[in-house]
Amino acid sequence: MSPANALTNPQRPGRLTSLLLNISTREVEVRHVEEVGAHFRLVTLAADALRDASWTPGDMVQIIVSGAALLGPWELRSYTPFAFEPDTGTTKILWYVHGNGPGSDWAASAGVGTPCRLMGPRHALSLPKRDRPLIFFGDETSFSTAIAVRETPSGYRDVRFIFEVSSVEQSRAVVEQFGMGDGVKLIAREEGDRHLSEVEGEIVDAYRSAAAHGVLTGKAPSIQRLYKALRTSGVTARRVTNIPYWAPGKKGLKGH
C-alpha cells in the first residue's frame, strides 16, 4: 500500500503505516470552543507546529478523530479551516455536529486542552482562483469553506451562497455571525429531496444572469444532480468545481 493510500484508508494499520501517519501529522490542541447555534461548534486549534504552515483559503486539513497514530486503528476526517494565523499558530474550523460519526462526536466532546493530530493544510479547492461572480452551493458541512471565502482578495463580494439545510433557523445563526449577509439563500431540506428543484432553479438562473463560476460542495447526491442540471443547461464543465464532502452511508470522504 502506498503511503498516500495508507493514510487515507482508516483500517487496522501496520507498524510502518502508523509510523508514517505519525510523521505526517502535527500535534495540536484545542485552544477555544464556541457553540454557534445548536449543531455547530467553532473550534480553534493551536500548536507551535502550525507556525510554519502555509494556507490558502479552501485548503483542507485531516484530523485523527479517534484512535492514535502510533497505536491504530484510527479514523481520519476532513475539515476546512476558515482562518489560519501562522503568527499565533492557530486555525479555526466550523464543525457541523450531525451526530452520526466519530468526527462529529469528536467536535461535540472537544474542550480546551483536548489534544489531536492534524495533517495539512493541503489543497482541496483554491478559492482565490475562482472567478466572480461566484455561485457557491453547499450544506452545513460547507459553512466553514464558505466563511473562508472572506479571506480571499475579493472577500464575499459578488458571491451568491445557496445552502440546503436541515434547519434554516439554526443555520441563520451561522450566516449572521459570519456576516455573509444578503447574498445567502438557505433552503430547507424536504422529503425525497423535493427542495432540490428550487436549488436547481436558483443555480441555473444565477449562471444565466451573471455567474462566472460555480463551486458545488456538501452532500454528494445533491452535487451530482445540480451538476447534471447545469451541464444540461449549457454550462461548460470548466465553469463548475465539484467537491463532495459526505454521502449517505459512506464514511470519511476526502473530497476527490
Ligand X SMILES: Cc1cc2nc3c(=O)[nH]c(=O)nc-3n(C[C@H](O)[C@H](O)[C@H](O)COP(=O)(O)OP(=O)(O)OC[C@H]3O[C@@H](n4cnc5c(N)ncnc54)[C@H](O)[C@@H]3O)c2cc1C
Minimum distance between the CB of residue 234 and ligand X, rounded to whole angstroms?
Answer: 28
161 or 245: CB nearest ligand X: 245
Largest CA distance in the chain: 55
Chain residue whose CB lies nearest ligand X: 101
CB of 64 to ligand X, least distance (A): 11
Closest Cα to residue 96, out of 1, 180, 163? 163
Nearest CA-CA partner of 142 in 33, 7, 246: 246
Nearer to ligand X, 137 or 246 (CB): 246
Cell of 211: 455567474
Minimal distance, residue 232 CB to ligand X, in Å = 26
Nearest residue (CB) to ligand X, 95 versus 207: 95
Please report which helix (H) or strand (E) contains residue 33, including its range.
strand 26-36
Minimum CB distance to ligand X, residue 58 (Å): 9
Q: Tell me how far, at minimum, the Cβ of 30 lies from ligand X, in Å.
A: 15
Q: Whose Cβ is closer to ligand X: residue 41's or residue 160's?
A: 41
Nearest to 230 by CA among 196, 203, 195: 203
* Closer by beta carbon to ligand X, 143 or else 156: 143
Contact 165, 139 (CB under 8 A): yes
Residues that bind ligand X (CB under 6 A): 60, 65, 77-80, 93-96, 98, 100-104, 124, 140-141, 144, 243, 245-255
Give the shortest CB-66-to-ligand X separation in angstroms: 8
For 66, 75, 202, 228, 235, the CA distances from 240, given in Å and listed in that order, are 34, 30, 15, 11, 8
Nearer to ligand X (CB atom), residue 76 or residue 204: 76
User: Which CB atom, from 107 or from 235, has the smaller least distance to ligand X?
Assistant: 107
- In whole angstroms, how far apart are CA 203 and each of 47, 132, 199? 40, 14, 6
Peptide bond into 81 cis (omega under 30): no
Distance in angstroms (rounded) separating the CA atoms of residues 66 and 101: 10
Least Å distance, CB 211 to ligand X, is: 22
Burial (CB count <10 Å: 0-12, 13-18, 19+), residue 189: middle
